[in-house]
Structure 1
Amino acid sequence: MRLQSGRRTGALVALTATTLVLSACAGAADADTEEPAASTASTTVEIDDNHGTITVPVLPERVVALDNHVFETLSSWDVDLVAAPKVIMGDLWPVYTDDEAVLDVGSHFEPNLEAIIEAQPDLVIGGYRFAESYDDITAQNPDAAVIELSPREDQDISAELVRQIEILGQVFDREDDAAALVEALNDSVTAATEAYDTSETVVGLITSGGEIAYSAPVTGRSIGTVFPTLGLTPAIDLEADDVSHGDDISVEAIAAANPDWIIVLDRDGSGVGEGEYTSAAEIITGSEALSAVTAVAEDQVIYLDPSFYLSEDIQAYTALYEQIAQAFSQSA
């Protein structure tokens, strides 16, 4: 079990109220004593994060969040943050990025870990892009619980998102809200799976800087994880070399595979690209080599919400599966 010094120890706080009521009537005193049952509330919860078992405070007062997967959930649950990596949050969560009281931890490329120390957190939700800073963060913040809940690469993405949201539900006393998000995700997966014709092939692509990259089934960034979840049949089945940005692929190779469906992540649409922006739709439909591909010719190209690259959370995947389900259903 991982326990950090200075952390709350999980003591139960017992509250016992005893009320003594005295009433006098015609020279006689009648005393009644009421003793309601003692109530208890846990101040900590024991959870299993990416590193093992750790005790964390319930409803922590000072929270630092570094993992993009959790910003949408925390903002919707009205969780205040004392520090966050504003550089990599885009304009999706202005409640945090526009608040000067929320200290800026910078980006994972140039992290400002001193901002975390200054924030004096009870809880740090690290991981994902900040995974390499884990040892430094834990060493520099001995009085905080530092946890990482980001999806692990060797696990099913849906199961990992469920694990993450259920743990957050425990920590922030929002278990009913977490259950609702899990139900919505499961429903979207079921809808997409039932609408899919397994005889139709799919290829995942990522566009950035005006170029097209390949997102490998299972191991490819974002889209690759959708293949095992929905049981999609890959038009091109190669392992990923670059799991973050996609692998080089020629439009001729895509045309030769002739996928029935193309699912595209427009990486630059999130605002992270440099130079002049060209949308994924312009790149795909503007390619002469791809014009005869079934997916393009029959308008069976699914473009992820541009914000997907920044969030990749349970809400984003739910919306994607709903989008895929609708597209598959309309083509049936």
Structure 2
Amino acid sequence: MRAHRFRKSLLVTSSALCAGLVLSACGSGSDGKAEPAGAEGAKTVTIPTAKGEVEVPLKPARVAALDNTSFATLKAFGVKPVAVPKALLPNEGFEDWKNDSSIQDVGTHREPRFEALNAAEPDLIIGGYRFTDHHDKLSKIATTVDVAPSDEAKDGYVNALLTQTETLGTVFGKEAEAKEITGALDKARTDAAAATQGESVFLAVASAGKVDNGASRIGRLAEPLNLKNVLSAEGEDSTSVHNDSGLAPETVAKLNPDWVIMLDRDAAVGTEDGSEAVAAQKIVDGMEAWDKTTFRTKDQVIYLDDDFYLSEGIQAYTTAFTQVSTAFGAAG
């Protein structure tokens, strides 16, 4: 069998979203009756965010998108931003945004270019996730919302992706499109859960030619599945993939997981020292300590999409769950 290759948000109920719409998006018509959400006279909508309820423009014309988990959804909605952190754009599917000089490049969360963002004159800034620490400064430029998914969300990161998508659908009047996107995730997650039967798994991250414990970053993926993680995220102080725990290949070999799910960071952003990136599959195949492990002998390694590290949104998780169900189904 070939190796299988693929890549605090608020959980709100639909009734909560509806309540926000009734309070804020509904205006009064000439006959004094409330207009439905999305009606021509409606100008704003109140949405739940990590900072509480925020009134935002309905169908804003000038949007700065800083949260990389929202990029694919905005593109699916047909939204062209006026500003993005171009270095955080996935390598595939966003060439038009990256090469469009009319879209301001606002740098990264590590070195934000607030002047460029201000020059873009956004009506709305979609912040959060990597840009969470800059919320106050961003809010001085324009209305800023954090609807990003979070591990601290009530029912976890994956469910928070559903909420994020529904909320953005409300803002842009794309409720039908949002429902289609959330439905795809629900189906992929259900199929993946049904395909997993308690097998052991090592959640790994490849970076700088090494493989380390990636449970703090992609444990989100395994939470809804029926898998036994051989290494937990306990003791890891963040979801960073830059940490080097010193995990020895022999340790993984001794744990002998049935499967490995691998995040290849360098495939998305390259190496920090500028050297040529070593593909995760090459690292795995070249690890002598793993020669007799179950996952190597049965070729049971799932490589997440190369851009997973730069996307991490609902479409990325839909793809990942589909990879899991396909791989486990083929393995019998």
TM-score after normalising by structure 2 = 0.85
Inter-CA distance 69–296: structure 2 relative to 1 (3 Å threshold): same
- 1:134-213 to structure 2, matched below 5 A, reads 134-139=135-140, 141=141, 144-155=142-153, 156-198=156-198, 200-213=199-212
The one-letter code of the counterpart of 1:259 is P
- Cα RMSD of the aligned pairs, angstroms, is 1.9
- 1:250-329 to structure 2, matched below 5 A, reads 250-273=248-271, 274-329=274-329
Unaligned runs of 5+ in 1: 1-8, 17-36
* Partner-residue secondary structure (3-state), 1:262: strand
Give the number of the structure whose alpha-carbon radius of gyration is greater: 1
- 1:103-114 to structure 2, matched below 5 A, reads 103-114=104-115
| Aligned-partner Cα distance in 2 for 1:166–1:247 | 37
Contact 2:161–2:313 at 8 Å: present in 1 too? yes
Give 1:13 deviation, angstroms: 6.2
* Partner-residue secondary structure (3-state), 1:14: coil
Give 1:10 deviation, angstroms: 5.5
| Aligned-partner Cα distance in 1 for 2:300–2:244 | 22
| Aligned-partner Cα distance in 1 for 2:244–2:329 | 30
Cα shift readout 1:76-112 (whole Å, capped 9, x = no counterpart): 2211211111122143312211110111101111110
For 1:120, the equivalent position in structure 2 comes to 121
The one-letter code of the counterpart of 1:12 is G
For 2:19, the equivalent position in structure 1 comes to none
Higher fraction of strand: 1
* Partner-residue secondary structure (3-state), 1:137: helix
The reply to whether residue 241 of structure 1 matches residue 237 of structure 2 is yes
Give 1:40 deviation, angstroms: 5.8
Contact 1:162–1:314 at 8 Å: present in 2 too? yes
Contact 1:207–1:267 at 8 Å: present in 2 too? yes
* Partner-residue secondary structure (3-state), 2:79: coil
For 1:81, the equivalent position in structure 2 comes to 81
| Aligned-partner Cα distance in 1 for 2:331–2:25 | 54
Larger relative contact order, structure 1 or 2 (CA cutoff 8 Å, min sep 6): 2
- 1:23-62 to structure 2, matched below 5 A, reads 41-62=41-62
Give 1:242 deviation, angstroms: 4.3
Give 1:267 deviation, angstroms: 0.6
| Aligned-partner Cα distance in 1 for 2:40–2:89 | 39
| Aligned-partner Cα distance in 2 for 1:40–1:173 | 11
* Partner-residue secondary structure (3-state), 1:136: helix
| Aligned-partner Cα distance in 1 for 2:41–2:244 | 51
Give 1:188 deviation, angstroms: 0.5
Give 1:14 deviation, angstroms: 3.3
| Percent of aligned pairs with the same amino acid | 37
| Aligned-partner Cα distance in 2 for 1:238–1:125 | 29
Cα shift readout 1:222-267 (whole Å, capped 9, x = no counterpart): x211221213211223512342115521101100100000000011
TM-score after normalising by structure 1 = 0.85
Give 1:285 deviation, angstroms: 1.1
Unaligned runs of 5+ in 2: 1-23
For 1:12, the equivalent position in structure 2 comes to 27
| Aligned-partner Cα distance in 2 for 1:237–1:11 | 47
Higher fraction of helix: 2
Contact 1:185–1:314 at 8 Å: present in 2 too? yes
